[in-house]
Structure 1
């Protein structure tokens, strides 16, 4: 008897700045042999960041589909996800920054946005639960240092930690990148 049980293929890649997490995720996507949709969450705010984005673009294969989703990550994932397809999301760190610190928000408004972020997280959880293809999600691990001084920064670190835990729990594989070396955490 043949089983029709679906097995989710969700890989979560964490690491610090310049740990090699994006390059590793891109390599996994490329090696999957599947058509790839790259979901970018960045908003370009200055010339230095534009240069970082340019570097990422040049490193990716030209035939990959690019979707920019600075806010509606759940919607972008639902749209891009198909059986026999790979979706690479890079990264949750920037997505959270976009949710909590939109360019037009004042310092006082940022904490109030946490409720909207929670709704976005819930929608993303549901989208991850329904994936049919291979999905690779990249995020920064920023909770290994000291407790930040400012309340907005503490809110950001706390929310990213919670978001990372949610995605790791849903993942079939989790990897921590350190100095370009992947360390398997799960799967």
Structure 2
């Protein structure tokens, strides 16, 4: 089963938890690719909460920037959860990297899953128009990235209040 499932939704919609549940019904070992960077105490706490919720059976790979490289380096046919694309995108924006190059490279890798892969991202385009240029650029770049990944995904799930809605 070499398939890509894209899980998208708003903040606290249940994206990560649902992705974990989908992976956990598959045979171990499970691989969790984390894109978060802990710049403050609050983010450290969020990361710790995610790790403790996952429990045993997960191999965690930290890939705040080289997500495509981390995915390429994985052994074949293992269940993989990538959490999340919007944090990864933020990391690249703050580092002033070429987003087109990075997003194209990631989309190319995700278009050829070697196992059951699950990718989480935030839906950021359903709120108000942000009041500053950086936030508007982030919203636009995240929207473009999400469209790109949805296009190559076999399945797209939209999470709403903890409930998955199949979009594709």
Shorter chain as normaliser: what TM range?
Answer: over 0.9
> Does the 8 A contact of 2:28 with 2:57 survive in 1?
no
Pick one of 39, 51, 54 that aligns with 1:57.
51
RMSD over equivalenced CA pairs, Å: 1.2
The structure-2 alpha-carbon separation of the partners of 1:72 and 1:78, relative to structure 1 and needing over 3 Å to count, comes to: same
Partner of 1:4: none
User: Corresponding residue for 2:40?
Assistant: 46
- 1:183 matched to which residue of 2? 165
Answer yes or no: is the 8 Å Cα contact 1:81–1:87 preserved in 2.
no
Which one of the candidate residues 23, 43, 58 is aligned to 1:29? 23
Number of aligned residue pairs: 168
For residues 81-100 of structure 1, the aligned pairs below 5 Å read 81-83=75-77, 85-100=78-93
Displacement of 1:146? 1.4
**Equivalent residue for 1:11, pick from 5, 13, 16:** 5
Residues in 2 aligned to 1:81 and 1:180: alpha-carbon distance in whole angstroms:
31
Q: Does 1:174 align with 2:137?
A: no
Q: Is the 8 A contact 2:23 2:81 kept in 1?
A: yes
Query: TM-score if structure 2 supplies the norm length?
Result: 0.96
Residue 141 of structure 1 is matched in structure 2 by: 123
Report what 1:117 is aligned to. 99
Give, in whole Å, the separation in 1 of the partners of 2:167 and 2:131: 30
Structure 1 CA distance for aligned equivalents of residues 107 and 22 of structure 2: 22
Distance 1:173 1:81 in 2: 22
- Which runs of 5 or more residues in structure 2 are unaligned? none
Identify which of 126, 134, 145 aligns with 2:108.
Answer: 126
Q: Where does the alignment leave 5 or more consecutive residues of structure 1 unmatched?
A: 1-6, 103-109
Q: Which residue of 2 aligns with 1:106?
A: none
- Separation in 1, partners of 2:2, 2:146: 18
- Which protein is bigger by CA-based radius of gyration? 1
Mapped contact 2:111–2:152 kept (Cα < 8 A): yes
Partners of 2:81 and 2:119 within 8 A in 1: yes
